Structure 1
Amino acid sequence: MAIVLGPNRYGKAETRLVRVIRDGDTHSLLDFNVSVALAGDLAATHATGDNSTVLPTDTMKNTVYAFAKEHGVGEPESFALLLGRHFVVSQPQVESATISIEAYGWDRLGPHSFAKRGDYTRTAVVTVTADAAQVVSGIGGLVLLNTTDSEFHGFVRDRYTTLPPATDRILATAVDAKWRHLAADGDWAQSYEMAVVALKTAFAETYSYSLQQTLMAMGTRVLTERPEIAEVRLALPNKHHYLVDLSPFDLTNDNEVFIAGDRPYGLIEGTVTRDDVPAAIAEWWL
């Protein structure tokens, strides 16, 4: 039986980058968490420790900071494409570079004062090869909640089922969404903003009989309104809210007082796609 090296990659994870753009007395702030992963001709270092084709991960970190100064930062997709293309072009042993960025939002309070924005995070994952590039944008931790217009009943029951049917419940989730673009260029800022609007609008306007149905409606809304997007991957945890039993206090509870559950929780995942899009060049839903 032969033992061989399977798929592998290496890189520098979570390089924290804060870039201040100074325009006179008015400043702008970009706050990124950048991860680099390279794959290619790396068999020798695994087999014998020969590092002649290994670009140090410390060099990757330095490249992130140097590029932030030399080229600016801009949208996370643009910065990721710039880095990915650099590593593939400058390193002949590198067959693909994947750049993952988490972008943290800050709201302006004044010319040079800012407040951290919410709990959600903008994301971008770019994969570059010698002849192609793939851009995946996304958002993580976007908490949405409907206080009504949600039901869940008619489900399978067996001897272990205790969940009662619900005809009026709170539906809440923390959206983790990723969407693959058809091309490696575009107005990244507008595309991101309008995709998020589509997700929020679909959630708010869908009368839901299941979180799965809501997932489909959200993905469909994005693809309908954003022609530059090929497919959408959604992971929706069901943030359960349980009705409190107030009968011991001689009080009725007409869907007004709830316990917000923590764990365990249902997790609904799915991909909504166009039926005529080109295949992805790399796995993008992980």
Structure 2
Amino acid sequence: MSRIILGKNQYGKAENRVVRIYRDTPRHEIHDINVSTCLRGDFSAAHLAGDQSEVLPTDTQKQTAYAYAKSNGLVSIEDYGLALARHFVNDVEPVDGARIEIEEYAWERAIVDGAEHDYTWIRKGQEVRTAAITVDGAGEWVVGGLKDMVILKSTGSEFAGFLTDPYTILEPTHDRVMATSLAAQWRFTSTDVDWEATFAGIKIQLVEQFALVQSLALQQTLFEMGRAVLETYPFIAEVRLSAPNKHHFIYDLTPFGLQNDKEVFNADDRPYGLIQATVTRDDAPAAGAAWDVYQGWLS
């Protein structure tokens, strides 16, 4: 007869909104994040008997996230996440693994009288920077990334020669708008990294490949993006990319006696094609727990 047993489990404090402002000079600096903490270990007593003696409260995790923004600083989200994860694993006895997931929201300085203001910002509508840090007895893993990077080019993209069947009505094209809201993540093989310069450089590589590749398929563009990152940064093992098609359809203006030479489009947000790819080194070290996410981990 089969037994009912406890499967894998974890717990934490999700989506703590932490803002750290550096005020030690007249020109202030702001770092705005959403951080989720997650602890792993043997918490079976809590599940099976309601025994909380091995459970560090999620509220304590929240308080630690805020305290570390001051005591350890919050400049690079990777360093901040590593400090948090190492603390939970090294200083909290029942915890043998910690996962820290961070989103960072960018701000740009307000322009006042033609100059950047020292302590006023406007929220940027660009991409969200991400980091995921895992520390356990087997090692440390850092995954950097970004999401919601909306990027479009008005030509330089094709889609033709595709498989057809009786339900195919799509016409091939050799000149189309290509647009996406890119999500990308990259796995580091080291924690001795200039996080800020590397993030900026990776973003440059992604944008350049999107712009310069004469794309026969979005899949091709994603591969070239990943390859460029790996060729530039030897301490990155793999890049994972997810790109929903933001379709732009030429709008029919003939009812109004107007010719539309690929100038006016209907931007349709759904349904959409979703293209995903991993670009990796054939000798990449094992990923370990790098991709064991917090939210959605049990699914």
Q: TM-score, normalised by structure 2?
A: 0.93
Question: How far 1:285 moved relative to its partner?
Answer: 7.8
Match 2:199 to one of 186, 192, 195: 192
- Deviation at 1:130? 2.8
Residue by residue, what CA displacement relative to the aligned partner does 1:254-275 show, whole Å, maximum 9, x if unpaired? 1111000110100001100011
Q: Which residue of 1 aligns with 2:52?
A: 51
* Amino acid across the alignment from 1:181: F
Alignment gaps of 5+ in structure 2: 111-116, 294-299
Corresponding residue SS for 1:61: helix
Q: Find the aligned partners of 1:38 and 1:185 in 2 and give their Cα distance.
A: 24
Aligned to 2:296: none
- C-alpha displacement of 1:185: 2.2
1:18-167 to structure 2, matched below 5 A, reads 18-109=19-110, 110-167=117-174
| Native 8 Å contact 2:131 2:143 kept in 1 | yes
Which of 266, 276, 282 aligns to 2:283? It is 276
2: CA distance, partners of 1:265 / 1:178: 21
Q: In structure 1, how many angstroms separate the alpha carbons of the residues matched to 2:82 and 2:221?
A: 32
RMSD: 1.2
Cα distance in 1 between the residues matched to 2:292 and 2:96: 20
Residue 250 of structure 1: how far off its partner (Å): 2.1
The match for 2:269 is 262
**Would you identify which runs of 4 or more consecutive aligned residues in structure 1 move more than 4 Å?**
none
Aligned counterparts of 1:215 and 1:72: Cα–Cα separation in 2? 35
Paired with 2:219 and 2:138, the residues of 1 have a C-alpha distance of: 37
- 2:11 is paired with a residue whose SS is coil
Give the total of aligned pairs.
286
Point out where structure 1 has 5 or more consecutive residues left out of the alignment.
none
Shift of the alpha carbon at 1:227? 1.6
Summarize deviations over 1:132-186 as a string: whole Å, max 9, x none.
Answer: 1100000111111111111101111112111111111000011100000011221
For residues 11-58 of structure 1, the C-alpha deviation after alignment (integer angstroms, 9 at most, x for no partner) is 000001011101232111110111001111111111111111110000
CA contact (8 A) 1:123 1:138 kept: yes
Kept in 2: contact 1:150–1:208 (CA 8 A): yes
The answer to whether the 8 A contact 1:150-1:210 is kept is yes
State the partner residue of 1:170: 177
Q: Secondary structure at the match of 1:13?
A: strand
- Between the aligned partners of 1:193 and 1:16, the Cα distance in structure 2 is 24
Distance between the aligned counterparts of 2:69 and 2:253, measured in 1?
57
Instruction: Report how far residue 131 of structure 1 moved.
Output: 4.4
Q: What is the CA–CA distance in structure 2 between the aligned matches of 1:95 and 1:270, rounded to whole Å?
A: 32
Q: Report the residue type matching 1:2 in the other structure.
A: R
Q: How far off is 1:193 after superposition?
A: 0.5
What fraction of aligned residue pairs are identical, expressed as a percent?
Answer: 49
Q: What letter corresponds to residue 26 of structure 1 in structure 2? A: R
Aligned-partner SS, 1:11: strand
